[in-house]
Chain A
Amino acid sequence: MVELYAPDLEDLRANGVTVAGVARPVHLILMGDHSFTTSFDGHAGATCHFLCCYCCCLARLTAATKKLLPNFADYGTLQDGSRAGRVPCTIFHMSVMATLYANGPLATLLDPPSVSIALSYERRPLVVFAPKDIVPMPLHITSGVSPWMLSLGVEAVAFDLGAARAEKYAAALTTALRLNVGVSRTPYWRGTFAGRACDKIGRRLAAVCDVFDGFVPPARTAAHRRACELWAKLQPALNRAATFEAPERATFRRQATEFVDLLRSSFEWESITRKLHILACHAADWLDRYGSLGQFA
């Protein structure tokens, strides 16, 4: 369906718009979830080696990946936390992919390029967008991380004290969410939280911490409370349609880095997801360039 718009979008970007007889240039950006942006720019999707469209970090270091990419250390992985975005993707690479796949996707090429050249791009981009013009999905980070923080608590109790105790914590958490936070699950998307409920959870994570404190050892409690505090501070920058000044942007960068690195160091079983990676490594760059994230959510 998107291919129906590709010529129109190219035309808008190339020729701008004319308003009241005055020509104005257009700066076009791409906004959407991971599935949409990857299908738009020809990326292989969430299960490939290089799953970030902003940098060349690897999803995970497996034996097969190490064998395929001898210089794997240069790229880094998502699990490196804030140190993952070492090799940025460029518009030059996107242009090369557009040329390479002009006559057909990767599967049809007689002499396919290696993984380190294709970087998990397998089709011609419908419209070539520079990685810095792809919105780092602030809405999806908010709606993904807020419910994930609740799961993190349950996993922490299960990790420290076992499944039976985790079940009791989950029951207590459910009551607290309904009565103290005031949110309920959606009847779709497998019954998760959506929309404003995610914002509300983020704002009232202190109520979740109060329940959590009664279940786990103090060391875990301190890390969990700090993670919740950091997420509560990060969330306004992600969902407020406001322009942020330089000091606030610097604070966001520092807190995003600290948040993801804290998760990595204090909750050792957890994997850094793509949303957390974007939050730690790329969201602050967007904020510096455009001054806002919430205007694009």
Chain B
Amino acid sequence: MAVVSSAAVAAPPVRLQKQFAIANNISYEKWQRIRLLMGGPRSGLASASVMRTDGQAAFAEERNLIRSTAQGALLAIGRSAVEALVADLLARNQFIERPVVGRPAGEVLLSFGLDKVGRHRSCKEILSCINQAQPCSSDNTILLGVFPCEKDD
């Protein structure tokens, strides 16, 4: 029977751990407690300080830069986010060519739209790359900006 060190196999990259923590709204303090509960450094989970440093590096990247205006918060350079998404899809071999009648081949199909999900009165501008499976799933779209609304509908 082959024996594989479980910590080495299970340890995901720090960036992935960071994304998981953000997606699930886990604070650094809670993260540290989970890490200790799972065995500390042997768990394969990054420490809170490493996560914090990686988070700062991630937010400083051009594709993630945010600027705020009187109307709301939005991505500073939308083009970088689109290019990063397409590069990621190509790298993972998940870019799906979607030919459109009457258009040249090889185009990147982007849809610009509005989303109103969430608990607070706000609308979200989103950009979806249609050249992937489930393009309009919220995990696969680029959140361009969040703007407060006066009413829900």
Contact = CB atoms under 8 A, between A and B. Distances in A.
Contacts of A4: 69, 71, 74, 145
Interface stretch (B5-13, B35-43, B46-54, B107-115): B107-115
B87 A20 contact: yes
A1 B152 contact: no
B90 A19 contact: yes
Nearest to B105: A25
A17 B83 CA distance: 6
Contacts of B128: 31
Contacts of A1: 71-72, 123, 125, 145, 147
B79 interface: yes
B135 A295 contact: yes
Given A241-B135, A241-B136, A295-B135, A28 B112 contact: yes
Contacts, number: 107
A29 B110 contact: yes
A289 interface: yes
A16 to B, nearest CB: 7
Interface string A268-297: 000000000000000000001111000111
B143 interface: no
Nearest to B106: A24
A70 B111 CA distance: 39
B78 A31 contact: no
B66 interface: no
Contacts of A295: 98, 130, 135-136
Nearest to B95: A19
B103 A27 contact: yes
A8 B153 CA distance: 27
Contacts of B72: 1
B54 to A, nearest CB: 24
A25 B111 contact: no
Contacts of A20: 87, 90
B114 A33 contact: yes
Interface string B86-98: 1100100000001
A48 to B, nearest CB: 20
Contact of A8 (B71, B78, B114, B130): B78
A208 interface: no
A289 B101 contact: yes
Nearest to B72: A1
Contacts of A17: 79, 82-83, 86, 108
Contact of A27 (B83, B107, B133, B153): B107
12 contacts: A1-B147, A5-B74, A17-B79, A20-B90, A26-B82, A28-B111, A30-B112, A36-B113, A36-B114, A243-B98, A288-B101, A289-B101
Interface of A: 1-2, 4-5, 8-9, 11-12, 16-20, 24-33, 36, 135, 188-189, 241, 243, 288-291, 295-297
Interface of B: 69, 71-72, 74, 78-79, 82-83, 86-87, 90, 98-104, 106-114, 123, 125, 128, 130, 133-136, 144-145, 147, 152-153
Given A4-B71, A8-B78, A25-B106, 18 more contacts: A1-B71, A4-B69, A4-B74, A5-B112, A5-B145, A11-B79, A12-B82, A25-B104, A26-B108, A26-B110, A30-B111, A30-B113, A31-B112, A32-B113, A189-B153, A241-B135, A289-B102, A296-B111
